[in-house]
Each structure stands twice: as C-alpha cells, then as structure tokens.
Amino acid sequence: EDIAAHLRASKPVMIYGHLGTGKTELAMHVAKQYLEKEALIISGSKHTSLAELYGHQVLIVDKESGATVSDFFMGPIYRAAEEGRPVIIDEVNAIPHEVLISLNHILTRQPGETINVQQDSGKTVTVKEGFCIMMTGNLNQGQERYIDREDMDPAFLSRLYKIEHDFVPQKTEGTLEEETGKENELFHILLARVMDKNGNIEAPANTPQKLWRLAQASRVIQNVFAGKE
C-alpha cells in the first residue's frame, strides 16, 4: 500500500534489500494487485544499453511503395509512458551509471506532460495516467557479495522513494510452544505449504516442530548472509 500510494502520486520507488528477499515479486504484486496493470519489466545488468530502455532504429518495408525505410521501435520506457503502464527495472544498480542517469528527466514527468523521444527526432510521447517506475536492487555498501553493483548517483537517488524489503520475519530462538505467533511469518508459510486446501495436514506428528526448526535455521542463514550475525 505504501509503494502504491507513492506510485499513484507519480513518485518513482526503489525497493532495495538483500538477494532472495522477493523484491521483484513484490514489485510485480504491487503492479497487478494495487495498480491493476501488467508491468513492463527491464532486467538490468552491466551490459544494459540505452537502446534496451528507449528503443532502436529498425528497417521496415513501406506498404505503399515497397521501399525499405528506417523506423524507430519504441522501448519499454516510452511504451509504458504512452500506454499508462508501470515499468519495473530489476537490479537497477547493476546498470552502468551513464545509462541510468538518462532517466533523470523522465522520473519526474507527470500524466499529461510530454516526453521528447530523443532517439527519433521530432517525435513526442504524452504521459498517460498509470505510468510509473519501480526499481529493485541491492544498494552497494562495500559488501563483497555486491561488488558488481554500481554506486548510485545522489542526484538520481534523490528522485526516488526508497523502501527496504527484508527477509520474512522469524524468531531464531525459543521453542514452538513458547514463541509461536503471527510475527513468525516464515514458519507460517512453511506450515501453509504442507496443508491441503481445507487447512488439514497429513504428516508425521512431529512435523510442526521440524518446520519450526527449519524456519529458525533458515533465518539464521539469512542473517549471516545479510551480515547481521
């Protein structure tokens, strides 16, 4: 709800957190369930180019003359703006800095405003209601596991609403009988996975205790990976 509220106010959002927390799934869930739109997804990497964001020139055959002419194929950023759809830029800080900062102007465009298609001289796109940008990434804080991530420009980051998405909550100490509760979401997810559609579990009697220990062990591993333990 927090993410959707900012997107409706035309504020781009950056969801950041560690590998495996479900950032991309969260972004797709927001687009489908809260914005009721199918998002266009851009998978970021060190090889991502301007053409993958904005489009490129193509050769087509003119139907009337039969001649081969040059045309511009619009990329996901322009198409989403024109169609009023969300864009999800996954692993945004893996994208080279010089490519990423090209978004600075577009990030602040409001519905009804126009965007010049710089790659196709003279063409403009009118931003339609529903256009918004979500980004996911692992902010580089000097940790060895993310050395392939770019340090993001402060001016670029200032345009974004940033929200951290952590691993699913789970207590790592105590027994199932002592500590079970709604805050242990990881355990409840595991429990739900072994239930049938009526909420019944057909399994050995000690299954809940084993799932509880599995949830605790998983969270310890996640904490170690995140540098918290």
* pLDDT tens track for 98-141: 999 999 999 989 999 999 998 887 789 999 999 999 999 986 54
Read out DSSP for 51-83? HHHHEEEEEEE-TTT--EEEEEEE-HHHHHHHH
Backbone φ/ψ region at 112: left (φ over 0), alpha (ψ -120 to 50), beta: left
Read out DSSP for 84-130? T-EEEEETGGGS-HHHHGGGHHHHT--TT-EEE-TTSTT-EEEPPTT
CA distance 69 to 60: 6
- Phi, psi (rounded to 5 degrees) for 24: -65, -40
* pLDDT tens track for 79-109: 999 999 999 999 998 999 899 999 999 998 9
Residue 146 is predicted with a pLDDT of 56
Residue 228 is predicted with a pLDDT of 81
Name residues of the chain where pLDDT drops below 50.
141-142
Q: How does DSSP classify residue 168?
A: P
Stated pTM of the model: 0.81
| Distance, C-alpha 90 to centroid of its chain | 5
β-strands 114-116, 13-16: how paired?
Answer: unpaired
> For residues 105 and 62, is the Cβ–Cβ distance under 8 A?
no
Residue 142 is predicted with a pLDDT of 46
Q: How does DSSP classify residue 146?
A: G
**How many CB atoms within 10 Å of residue 101?**
14
CA distance 208 to 211: 5
